[in-house]
Structure 1
Amino acid sequence: MGRVLRAISEDGGVVMTAIDSTDIVARAEQIHESSAVVTAALGRLLTAASIMGCGLKGKEQSVTLRLSGGGPTGNVIAVSDAWGNVRGTVSRPVVELPLNPYGKLDVGGAVGRDGTLTVIRDTGMKDPYVGSVPLVSGEVAEDVTAYYAASEQIPTVCALGVLVNPDLTVRAAGGFLVQLLPGALEEEIEQLEGNLKELPSVTQMLEGGMSLEQIIGRVLDGFAPNILDEFPVEYRCNCSRQRVEKALLSLGNKELQEMIDEGEPVEVCCHFCEKKYNFTQEELKNLKNPIDR
């Protein structure tokens, strides 16, 4: 189970959301059996999606983040509900690349840098809000920061990290998002920049045993932060047999009939959790009949 903490500075000029997503990313790695660099890429995006999901207003709302960078991983997708519970998928879960020049996993090389980060906010209205920005680095955090600057005009700092063990299990994962609200003073900006300049990486802090409260205290040192709320988050897929049936129906009469004509049972696999749903020929015919009527 992951954990989210939200805080605000004493004067209300700075807000921050921090998350320990270690368990979430570990679950994603187990489901997708991903290589280290793909676990890092998907894990960072899941962490960002959870943070953004926590900021949604309505309980039925959701946010989808899609990285399309032209790299060997293909598309990387993460979806969060309004409680920060997330699920994700990646086109190619196993990619092997050399470490980058800094000796770190080359997430930007795996994702690619020639593409976009697309954010889709489903607020329950007829049309969702869709915003898209060119990728800055493919390393995810910088791209999320660029999205907020370009699409929402909110001064934002995003930090994300995933630390993968040699056996491909996840040692630590987490992140934070800091935003300056309208009216922030110049000295506040300078104070925040100074705090961030001296800050270790998110995974270093988590692996070193720092709590989310301590991380917030370090980032917002000098701002007298107050904790707004905290809550658990998890990797959660909302697939069901009923949803799969609706998806099959959406294929239309012709394609359903082609499946029936093949004379074989049909297996549908959820890309987010790898759960398999099997349909016999009789079940396919029963699905198709309402379309005929």
Structure 2
Amino acid sequence: MKDYLVRGIVESKNCRVFACQTTNLLEEARAKHGLWPTASAALGRVMSATLMMGAMNKNNEKMTITINGGGPIGTILATTHSDGKIKAFVANPEVHYTYNDTGKLAVGVAVGKEGSLQVIKDMGLKEPFVGTVPLQSGEIGDDFSYYFMASEQIPSVVSVGVLVNDTNEILSSGGFIIQLLPNATDEDIQFIEERMKDFPPVSALIHEGKTPEDILKVIFEDVEILATQDLFFECDCSKDKMATALMTVGKDEIQAMIDEDHGCEMKCQFCNEKYQFNEDDLNEILKEID
């Protein structure tokens, strides 16, 4: 099944909803980055939440999510232009922890919680919107729920999950978000709280074959789906962009690359694509700087 997200509304319960499947794009990211299982789970949860947040924007504004909780995984960064395409990485992909009591992937241990979740929305204005909140658990879902409440004053349920098999491949990945509208009542809140009690892990539902629409209908029988969007892991790096980045290191450093190494290699942190620059390439960059 292809990766996609849906957004909808539940008028009877005064809330808007989002749900997504991101299994294939996470498997692509896992292969590109050599992710170990817990790193896969952390990155998959962040990408699912980021893509659903992107679907909340009316324009194709750029959104960048950065999480660093001081744990062994280091920084997690994901960015999208709200067009269904996402690129992302973790600083340390070779991280794997499980909880002793449940055997589940210990994302909170890998991420840590002595840090922050930062959301940057670039809407094409002079200054981008930046919202930063302290991490609550490092488990990702709770942290995004807290962000919506603390930074945007929107009570939200955020559920994201990843299932990985014994050979590290991604079996399922996705999530859903429920956001109360301003006219929500105490009864609406109570209904959602009751539905969320003992609700199955979203990764298990996707692994069973349930679609994003199916998952929302399990929660709300009368959900109205308003739009769908296909999702992809796609990087926009290029040799030209790498050359522009090289210019920032300065003429002396570039000249040293020519004299000592007769060229250099640059690697994109988002997709691990490698770009070779020979002496002629570097001399052209020096001319551009001049």
| TM-score normalized with structure 1 length | 0.94
The 2-side partners of 1:13 and 1:198 are apart by 22
Equivalences, count: 289
Contact 1:49 1:84 in 2 (8 A): no
The 2-side partners of 1:107 and 1:178 are apart by 22
Q: What's the counterpart of residue 183 of structure 1?
A: 183
Residues 1-293 of structure 1 aligned to structure 2 (within 5 Å):
1-11=2-12, 13-59=14-60, 61-221=61-221, 224-292=222-290
Compare 35-44 and 207-216 and name the one that shifted more: 207-216
Compare 123-132 and 97-106 and name the one that shifted more: 97-106
- Distance apart, 1:252 and its partner CA: 2.9
5+ unaligned residues in a row in structure 2: which ranges?
none
The 1-side partners of 2:78 and 2:175 are apart by 15
Contact 1:195 1:218 in 2 (8 A): no
Q: In the alignment, residue 247 of structure 1 is paired with which amino acid?
A: A
- Distance apart, 1:288 and its partner CA: 1.1
The 2-side partners of 1:282 and 1:128 are apart by 38
Contact 1:162 1:173 in 2 (8 A): yes
Contact 2:64 2:77 in 1 (8 A): yes
Contact 2:67 2:77 in 1 (8 A): yes
The 2-side partners of 1:226 and 1:154 are apart by 20
- Distance apart, 1:256 and its partner CA: 2.4
5+ unaligned residues in a row in structure 1: which ranges?
none
Q: Which runs of 4+ in 1 moved over 3 A?
A: none
The 1-side partners of 2:35 and 2:133 are apart by 26
Q: Quick one: structure 1 residues 127 and 261, their matched pair in 2 at CA, closer, same or farther if it must change by over 3 Å?
A: farther
- Distance apart, 1:11 and its partner CA: 4.8
- Distance apart, 1:71 and its partner CA: 0.8
1:30-65 deviation digits (Å, cap 9, x = unpaired): 111111111101111111111111122222x11111
The 2-side partners of 1:188 and 1:251 are apart by 55
Report the secondary structure of 1:167's partner residue: coil
Compare 257-266 and 144-153 and name the one that shifted more: 257-266
Report the secondary structure of 2:233's partner residue: coil
Report sequence identity in percent.
37
| TM-score normalized with structure 2 length | 0.95
Compare 3-12 and 155-164 and name the one that shifted more: 3-12
RMSD between superposed Cα atoms in Å: 1.5
